[in-house]
Amino acid sequence: MSEIKKPLLPEMLQMWQKTLSWQPDAGHLLEFQRLYELILEGNQQLNLTRITQPRDFWEKHLWDGLRGVSPLWINADDWRVIDIGTGAGFPGLPVAIARPDWQITLLDSTGKKTAFVQSVIDKLGMENAVTLTGRAEEINRHPQHRATYDLALTRALAPAPTCAEYALPLLKIGGLAVLYRGHWTDADTDNLSDTVTKLGGIVDFIERFSTPLTKGERHCIYLRKVAGERVTEFPRLVSTPDRHPL
Ligand code: SAH
């Protein structure tokens, strides 16, 4: 196997402070660096991510992942969180590193991906993260998952209405789903609103921002579950939410 270069991630303490009013401590920085190295290593076997340069990784995996949850940072002790379609562990792993009090389930339908994420959890000795292999549509039918989460994250998973159908049934009443999106328009919000209503939720708020280094356009859509009734038929059977969004 070829020798793997292990470039150092930038610390960006002031940038974290300025943009998220939060700074990683020495322990967080070590874990971010170790995560980065494990991703680079894993990328040799698996197609995990194309984002491999240190500043890119910092911006698009670490910063982007935490930016989505930063509005929820306070009054959120000991939350139960699920990252749906986590892939190589994003945004779930950076969030789990930054919030050791949150219990995070990293869900993906591909066993190779969850096996990799589990190896990262083991190597970092993380006690607040577990992996789960399966499809969101099926996981939703299990009583130990359905309507049990405070927060559901979806990034680069599916069209927004599909993400809503996967995420909202997993939430407790009052829980939030975060849809990490790039470009987003009012028409997208209109299109999503009907779906969210059917699922017993509301579009609570939307944040628009640019990534701090390359100024990429981002939106995070925050859905809140407000009702528990009428939603038992959702999500529909495997692949239906993806092929025929509500
Ligand atoms: N969230 C990551 C990965 C995005 S790729 C990131 O932002 O980098 C989308 C991932 O979702 C893939 O790993 C795929 O296996 C998984 N996925 C797609 N549909 C799914 C479903 N219905 N349930 C669970 N995982 C799903």
* Best of 86, 116, 179 for a ligand 1 pocket test (most atoms within 8 Å of beta carbon): 86
pLDDT higher than threshold 80 for residue 151: yes
pTM for the model stands at: 0.95
Helix (H, G, I), strand (E, B) or coil at 69: helix
Domain boundaries, the chain: 13-228+235-243
Find out whether 155 is annotated in a ligand binding site: yes
pLDDT of residue 3: 55
pLDDT of residue 122: 98
Q: pLDDT over 90 for what percent of the chain? A: 89
Give the Cβ contact number of residue 80 at 10 Å. Answer: 18
User: What is the residue with the minimal CA distance to atom 6 of ligand 1?
Assistant: 90
Q: What is the pLDDT of residues 107-143, one digit of tens each?
A: 999 999 999 999 999 999 999 999 999 999 999 999 9
Mean pLDDT of the chain: 94
pLDDT of residue 125: 97
- What is the topology classification, in CATH, of domain 13-228+235-243? Rossmann fold (3.40.50)
Q: What is the pLDDT of residues 202-245, one digit of tens each?
A: 999 999 999 999 999 999 999 999 987 555 677 877 878 888 88
Ligand 1 lined by 181 (C-beta under 6 Å) = no
Q: What is the pLDDT of residues 44-81, one digit of tens each?
A: 999 999 999 999 999 999 999 999 999 999 989 999 99
Q: What are phi and psi of 196, to 5 degrees?
A: -65, -40
CA distance readout (Å), 236 to 95, 133, 135, 140:
29, 19, 12, 10
Give the Cβ contact number of residue 182 at 10 Å. Answer: 9
How many angstroms separate the alpha carbon of residue 136 from the centre of ligand 1?
9
Query: Among 108, 86, 94, 121, which Cα is nearest to 16's?
Result: 94
How many angstroms separate the alpha carbon of residue 227 from the centre of ligand 1?
27
pLDDT of residue 4: 57
Tell me the C-alpha distance between 140 and 8, whole Å.
Answer: 39
Q: What is the pLDDT of residues 153-164, one digit of tens each?
A: 999 999 999 999
Tell me the C-alpha distance between 221 and 208, whole Å.
Answer: 9
Give the Cβ contact number of residue 160 at 10 Å. Answer: 22
Give the Cβ contact number of residue 214 at 10 Å. Answer: 10
pLDDT of residue 242: 83
User: What is the residue with the minimal CA distance to atom 23 of ligand 1?
Assistant: 135
How many angstroms separate the alpha carbon of residue 155 from the centre of ligand 1?
8
Ligand 1 lined by 32 (C-beta under 6 Å) = no
